[in-house]
């Protein structure tokens, strides 16, 4: 990436500032010099196998989507840095085995183009000016209409991903970005480093996974046992929806940051919802937790059906999308009647 304001690849992009940093990558606000449009550039250093795997998983997930969805972050292109050589690898070439081979060869540390040095992979994506959903919601007063809009958008995004056989596996409010480009806030599901692209045809819910991954407070009970399906994404959405509607938060133990998320309190400890349900599968969740006026009976039932212990009884992404449409329609109809 180089010095501030500079990025190789013939000065195609200019870096403005750093906007986020995690364990595996750094995100920058940048300018596409040809159009002067803002973009986000995520840089991942591929110097250890764990980083390589995350980079490849994100690349495979984003480039495998055949058509874009407005609530899924849009990948503009990938750029592979191998030493001083920068190789653009656009998602438009997803059908070319040569490009995928180039990425895998370089990132896995094998000799490529007679160079053998540290590698970086840059993801150039659409820029979201509203930050992440956690910061966005906690900086504003509770808004039922905004909550409903976010739930509709997120359920639509996850249904789209599951139709395309992509399981996110790390849904949380920090991994959901907000864009204002079209006036009203638009959510964008992002950060696909832990995602899986399921091979073959058929229902995505028939694929099983055995690697426990994700963030503790959003993990389904079966993820803790390392045997789960795409329905784990629905449990994570249930945690997000419940926390969003009732503004339930906790403090991150490492950063002290306030985060949206539901949990079970045991004395002074906060136990992740999935872990608590694993210990006590018959536990009845108290929904709503704070205020009965904060949600309708339909929404309460929806959350129970998203957060059920048994994944076979849990909604899948397509059922969830339909249910939220029904709830939204009922609320609109009720408002129109009351306004007459």
What are the catalytic residues?
A: 170
The span from the CA of 140 to the CA of 36, in Å, is: 31
What dihedral do alpha carbons 216, 217, 220, 222 form, nearest 10°? 30
41 in Cβ contact with 30 (< 8 Å): yes
237 in Cβ contact with 171 (< 8 Å): yes
Locate tokens 């329905």: which residue? 231
Q: Residues 6 or more apart from 209 whose CB is under 8 A from it?
A: 167, 169, 196, 227, 228, 229, 232
The span from the CA of 290 to the CA of 11, in Å, is: 53
Task: Map 64-91 to HEC letters.
Answer: HCCCCCCCECCEEEEEEEECCEEEEECH
Cis ω on the peptide bond leading into residue 288 (within 30° of 0)? yes
Q: Residues 6 or more apart from 238 whose CB is under 8 A from it?
A: 303, 306, 307
The span from the CA of 72 to the CA of 62, in Å, is: 9
Lookup: tokens for 173: 């409010």
Locate tokens 């809009």: which residue? 149
β pairing state of 166-167 and 176-179: unpaired
The span from the CA of 31 to the CA of 138, in Å, is: 28
Backbone angles phi, psi at 239, to 5 degrees: -60, -45
């Amino acid at each position: 990436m180089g010095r501030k304001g500079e990025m190789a690849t013939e000065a195609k992009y200019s870096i403005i500032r750093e906007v986020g940093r995690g364990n595996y990558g750094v995100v920058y606000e940048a300018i596409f010099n040809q159009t002067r449009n803002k973009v986000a550039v995520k840089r991942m250093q591929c110097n250890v196998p764990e980083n390589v795997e995350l980079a490849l998983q994100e690349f495979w997930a984003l480039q495998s989507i055949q058509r874009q969805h407005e609530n899924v972050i849009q990948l503009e292109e990938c750029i592979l840095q191998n030493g001083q050589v920068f190789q653009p690898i656009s998602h438009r070439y997803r059908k070319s085995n040569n490009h995928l081979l180039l990425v895998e060869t370089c990132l896995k540390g094998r000799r490529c183009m007679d160079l053998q040095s540290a590698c970086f992979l840059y993801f150039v994506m659409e820029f979201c000016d509203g930050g992440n959903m956690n910061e966005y919601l906690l900086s504003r007063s509770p808004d039922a209409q905004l909550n409903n809009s976010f739930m509709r958008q997120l359920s639509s995004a996850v249904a789209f991903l599951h139709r395309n056989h992509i399981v996110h596996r790390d849904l949380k409010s920090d991994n959901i970005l907000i864009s204002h480009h079209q006036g009203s806030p638009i959510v964008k599901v992002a950060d696909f480093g832990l995602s899986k692209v399921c091979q073959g045809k058929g229902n995505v819910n028939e694929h099983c996974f055995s690697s426990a991954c994700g963030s503790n407070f959003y993990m389904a009970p079966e993820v803790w046992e390392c045997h789960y399906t795409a329905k784990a994404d629905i449990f994570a959405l249930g945690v997000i929806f419940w926390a969003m509607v009732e503004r339930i938060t906790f403090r991150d133990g490492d950063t002290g940051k306030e985060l949206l998320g539901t949990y079970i309190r045991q004395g002074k400890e906060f136990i992740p919802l999935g872990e608590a349900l694993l210990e006590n599968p018959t536990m009845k969740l108290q929904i709503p937790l704070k205020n009965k006026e904060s949600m309708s009976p339909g929404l309460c039932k929806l959350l129970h059906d998203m957060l059920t212990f048994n994944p076979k009884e849990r909604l899948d992404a397509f059922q969830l999308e339909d249910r939220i449409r029904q709830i939204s329609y009922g609320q609109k109809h009720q408002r129109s009647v009351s306004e007459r």
